[in-house]
Structure 1
Amino acid sequence: MPASPAGTPQTAELPPQPSGPDPRTRAGAPVPAAPRVAWWAWALAGSLFFAYLLLSLRIHEQLLSHSFDLGIFVQVVRSYAEGRLPVSEVKGPDFPVLGDHFSPVLALLAPAYWLWPSAKVLLVAQAGLIAGSVLPLAFWARRVLGPPAAAVIAACYGLSWGIAAAVAFDFHEWAFAVPLLVCSLTALGDGRPRAAACWALPLVLVKEDMGFTVAAIGLVIAWRGARRLGVATAVAGLLASVLALLVVLPAFHPGGLDGYLASHGARSAEQAGTGGGAAQFVRAWTLGLITPQEKVTTLILVLAPSLFLALRSPFVLVALPTLLWRFGSGYPPHWGTGYHYSLLVMPIVFVAFVDALHRRGTRGPSLHRYLAGCAAVTLLLLPHFPLWQSVRPLTWRDDPRVEVAHRLMDRIPDGATVQASDALVPHLADRAGVSLHGWPDSRPSPQWIIVDTRVAPERRWPLSRVQEALALDEARTGGGYRTEAEQDGFVLLRRGS
């Protein structure tokens, strides 16, 4: 070592050190350095996209998709692609969908529909949006917990039961909300409140009730220190939902505000078996948010993948608006684990799980126990939800009736007016004016009617076998229709000229 003129050893001058805590440190615990490119995260997202897409397309090809909701959404996207405000024949003749739900975000699918005018383009988009939401969660978890923990959490999220149930049940506009939610909450977890607010605000374009979720995100932003920004975000979310619910939707609904409120209240009341309006509302809330037991079961299953540690993060509060309207609803399917109703809460719970682990400074054996528990719960629930169908041989067994159905539907010309059974509507919605056979709100006297008379009882919705048979007999006898074809339980009728 060279000596100074005074003969003392000379030390190398160190660069100035930044003051304050290490930016890679949270809750006082250092985070292991991670490689720049998390190839495993991209591989995981790609694998999940392939799994989601394969399952949803297979369900659709087996004639297991529905008029409510895939048929409706195809008609909405088709309207946008044709440069029109969205209408749905399934909801009623030329029914303006913006009078039922405020989801202008669906217009983003119009360019894809130009290239591929099919119901399948919606399923591809949904698979991509949900699988893509794994990436911001994985990247954030990797920064704060390390790559191994991030890989486990991201995989458990992608395979979680709420995601699986949604992917297997048609298409829904909530698919757009999932990546926005994850990006918003992970940005807030990274200490970037402005980015969190910017990612949250577009949620108001997904559905009319999402403004309440934006408001919840705003409150968490305020809680985390950015008070003005958080309050502004919360107010913007509330105003957006109030505007959508009380101004926009009634303006497009054929019956105005009274018609909009009556249609939604009456439908929920009819499905719940209660009176309409205030009576239905009072009954739903006097039952409580935890009765019947199905609600408690759903809440336990929602939190179980996080081993209930998500409750220790303020991020879990973002799920409250969704859980409150579901459990306060008078419509029993809202309470359970089926369909797509848990899609929005799964990303919130997993982000809250990561945040709780991070804030507690969980490392070493303790972190490994939580990860093992999360993986165990996810794998334990996996066989009980639809992703498991992908490994069942029955899923990939061809049904000859499907080919018959498509052959008969091909005889219906493009642009014709049609009434069809529930499962056939999505396969005609991209090229015909199709509505639901026998449904009171369907367009009367269509040019064609096609019905599946052998559909299983559990899949016969919304009409019973007797009701559908009576509607078919009426069309054959007094409705002026003649039988064009009848094979393997499918009946194709054409109205006489």
Structure 2
Amino acid sequence: MTDLKLPADPRQRRTGAEGDGAGDGARTRRGISWRTPLLVAGLFFLVYLTLSARRHAVNLSTGYDLGIFTQIVQSYARFSPPYSALKGPDYNALGDHFHPILALLAPAYKVFPSSYTLLVCQAALTAFSVVPLMRWAEEVRGRRFALWAGLSYGASWGLAELVSFDFHEVAFAVPLLALSLCAAGRGRWGAAVAWAVPLVLVKEDLGLTVAAIGLYVAWKGPRVTGLLLAVLGAGATALEMLVILPEFNPVGQFAYWPPETPDEPGLLAQAAGAFWPPVKWLTVFMIAAPTGFLALRSPLLLIALPTLAWRFTSPNPFHWGTDFHYSAVIMPIAFAAAVHAVAKGGIDARRLLPACAVGALTTCVTFFTHPLHELVTPQLWRETSQVRAADHLLERIPDGATVAASNQLAAQLADRATVSEVCLFPRSFPPREPAEWLIYDNADRSDPDCATGTALERTGGVAGYRLVEHREGISLLRRADR
């Protein structure tokens, strides 16, 4: 693999004038092609969209979260605050998480008013993040290294989890982080700062990631610029969590503070808890392994610390592992760090090849343990009798109706009806008046203590409603006074 070697022509070597990432082992390549990165990005766009769209088509998407985000973007498209009936009546979603960047999806939703619009946009945003990483990797070590970086990153488990579990606002963070960190690694400090600033509009915790980028810029580049960015990021997180989110939250506080306990552990015990249980160490291993552990050689990886810190100190076990979308923002950091490690020099082809092989092997293994493998499973492509029954019953609900639905059916209605959560998750607020329609799937175990499900299983009905039709364990009911 001669493409992994440095060029013999000294004119193609950098002199280090552009900053930390531009010295020693890196090189410039005039006219780096856009064609291959765009082709790889296009491939992953199709993969991501196929996975998420097919999951939605066979009713594997959920009200939490595709339904919620559909309602938010639908509100923006109507030029109203981002309300979500699934969270509660007239619930302003800016009291849940700070994500005004979602308003950018409103024009697309106005033209194509469907939950699929969100899935298309997420697939495009995530796939595009491949492009800056591949172009930088090609500058550093040529086309083969760029292909390894692009394919390993695009197929990484963190991105697979994002596109599999419906839609999330962090889809915007993935390309912004890739663009910012690739610029920082090259020593292009202005671009690094410019791409980092919009992250404060994606989610409240990402201001801390912006602060970390600012500290890196202050360390390796213009100090004042970096410190200003760090202050902006930290200040944005403080403003959002302490002022904006409580202002819009129905109970007047940030919704995700850890619950108070009577026996509060000491600071030392809390710090020790950040390193236990072992699943947290597995997550760290899984972040580094797809890069062949090259990321551990770059200080760019330190930018992932704020995200890991809040996750590992969280009392919610879902934040500790590799499931859901929480690691998606770490993937561009890890792979940018891997490219940066090679760009700094000191890694010849004999050491680089084994690292790339380890990364490729990890990607192949995680294909079978994370959601991309669903693309080759019959479940994603077969329309079962249960899916047909659900579609039939959903069609009986007219557009514009008020519906209380179980979690895995709510997303199917969010773009054409006012949908609330039939089981009333602990984090949602009940509607002011009963919905006109109620649809419940006995196979949906999202809330095992669902009062509606219990009533249907015990008595075959729900007080105040009459049964319209029952198929394949799915019950459709309508208010008796209608």
Question: What is the TM-score when the length of structure 2 is the normalising length?
Answer: 0.91
Residues 1:264 and 2:260 are matched in the alignment: no
- Aligned partner of 1:90: which letter? L
CA distance in structure 1 between the partners assigned to 2:305 and 2:143 by the alignment:
30
Q: Counterpart in 2 of 1:191?
A: 187
- Aligned partner of 2:376: which letter? V
Residue 491 of structure 1, aligned match among 457, 467, 475: 475
Query: Which segment is superposed worse, 412-421 or 314-323?
Result: 412-421
Q: Counterpart in 2 of 1:482?
A: 466
| Superposed CA offset, 1:417-456 (max 9, x none) | 111111000011111111111216231411110011234x
CA distance in structure 1 between the partners assigned to 2:458 and 2:403 by the alignment:
16
Confirm or deny: 8 A CA contact 2:174 2:329 kept in the other structure: yes
In the TM superposition, what are the counterparts of 1:73-472 in structure 2 within 5 Å? 73-256=69-252, 260-261=253-254, 263-265=255-257, 269=259, 275-276=260-261, 279=264, 285-439=270-424, 441-443=429-431, 444-455=433-444, 460-464=445-449, 467-472=451-456
Q: 1:471–1:85: structure 2 CA closer, same or farther, 3 Å change rule?
A: farther
Confirm or deny: 8 A CA contact 1:447 1:495 kept in the other structure: yes
Confirm or deny: 8 A CA contact 2:17 2:23 kept in the other structure: no
| Superposed CA offset, 1:92-128 (max 9, x none) | 1111111111100000110111111111111111110
| Superposed CA offset, 1:333-381 (max 9, x none) | 1001111111011110000011011113423333222222221221122
CA distance in structure 2 between the partners assigned to 1:284 and 1:467 by the alignment:
38
- Aligned partner of 2:410: which letter? V
Percent identical among aligned pairs is 44
CA distance in structure 2 between the partners assigned to 1:276 and 1:296 by the alignment:
26
Question: What is the CA RMSD across the aligned residues, in angstroms?
Answer: 2.5
Confirm or deny: 8 A CA contact 1:92 1:442 kept in the other structure: yes
Deviation at 1:31, TM superposition (A): 3.1
Confirm or deny: 8 A CA contact 2:53 2:116 kept in the other structure: yes
CA distance in structure 1 between the partners assigned to 2:435 and 2:269 by the alignment:
39
Confirm or deny: 8 A CA contact 1:449 1:494 kept in the other structure: yes
Q: 1:36–1:310: structure 2 CA closer, same or farther, 3 Å change rule?
A: closer
Query: Which segment is superposed worse, 338-347 or 466-475?
Result: 466-475
Q: 1:451–1:106: structure 2 CA closer, same or farther, 3 Å change rule?
A: same
CA distance in structure 2 between the partners assigned to 1:104 and 1:166 by the alignment:
19
Q: Can you give the 5+ residue segments of structure 2 that lack an aligned partner in the other structure?
A: 1-10
CA distance in structure 1 between the partners assigned to 2:164 and 2:305 by the alignment:
24
Residues 1:44 and 2:40 are matched in the alignment: yes
Q: 1:32–1:250: structure 2 CA closer, same or farther, 3 Å change rule?
A: closer
Confirm or deny: 8 A CA contact 1:90 1:442 kept in the other structure: no
Confirm or deny: 8 A CA contact 1:44 1:155 kept in the other structure: yes
Deviation at 1:32, TM superposition (A): 7.1
Query: Which segment is superposed worse, 225-234 or 405-414?
Result: 405-414
Query: Which segment is superposed worse, 93-102 or 46-55?
Result: 93-102
CA distance in structure 2 between the partners assigned to 1:388 and 1:281 by the alignment:
43
Deviation at 1:470, TM superposition (A): 2.5
| Superposed CA offset, 1:293-337 (max 9, x none) | 111111111111123231221111110110000000000010011
CA distance in structure 1 between the partners assigned to 2:214 and 2:339 by the alignment:
20
Q: Can you give the 5+ residue segments of structure 1 that lack an aligned partner in the other structure?
A: 1-16, 270-274
Deviation at 1:280, TM superposition (A): 8.4
Q: 1:468–1:286: structure 2 CA closer, same or farther, 3 Å change rule?
A: farther
In the TM superposition, what are the counterparts of 1:28-67 in structure 2 within 5 Å? 28-29=24-25, 31=27, 33=29, 36-67=32-63
CA distance in structure 1 between the partners assigned to 2:266 and 2:344 by the alignment:
39
Q: 1:467–1:75: structure 2 CA closer, same or farther, 3 Å change rule?
A: same
Where 2:466 maps in the other structure, the secondary structure is strand
CA distance in structure 1 between the partners assigned to 2:300 and 2:136 by the alignment:
14
Where 2:420 maps in the other structure, the secondary structure is strand
Where 2:273 maps in the other structure, the secondary structure is coil
CA distance in structure 2 between the partners assigned to 1:471 and 1:57 by the alignment:
33
Number of residue pairs matched by the alignment? 465
Q: 1:481–1:242: structure 2 CA closer, same or farther, 3 Å change rule?
A: same
CA distance in structure 2 between the partners assigned to 1:122 and 1:50 by the alignment:
15
CA distance in structure 2 between the partners assigned to 1:287 and 1:21 by the alignment:
44
Confirm or deny: 8 A CA contact 1:89 1:442 kept in the other structure: no
Q: Counterpart in 2 of 1:11?
A: none
Q: 1:276–1:350: structure 2 CA closer, same or farther, 3 Å change rule?
A: same
- Aligned partner of 2:142: which letter? G
Q: 1:224–1:445: structure 2 CA closer, same or farther, 3 Å change rule?
A: same
Query: Which segment is superposed worse, 334-343 or 473-482?
Result: 473-482
Confirm or deny: 8 A CA contact 2:367 2:373 kept in the other structure: yes
Deviation at 1:223, TM superposition (A): 1.0
Question: What is the TM-score when the length of structure 1 is the normalising length?
Answer: 0.88
- Aligned partner of 1:58: which letter? R
Deviation at 1:34, TM superposition (A): 6.1
- Aligned partner of 1:21: which letter? T
CA distance in structure 2 between the partners assigned to 1:122 and 1:449 by the alignment:
25
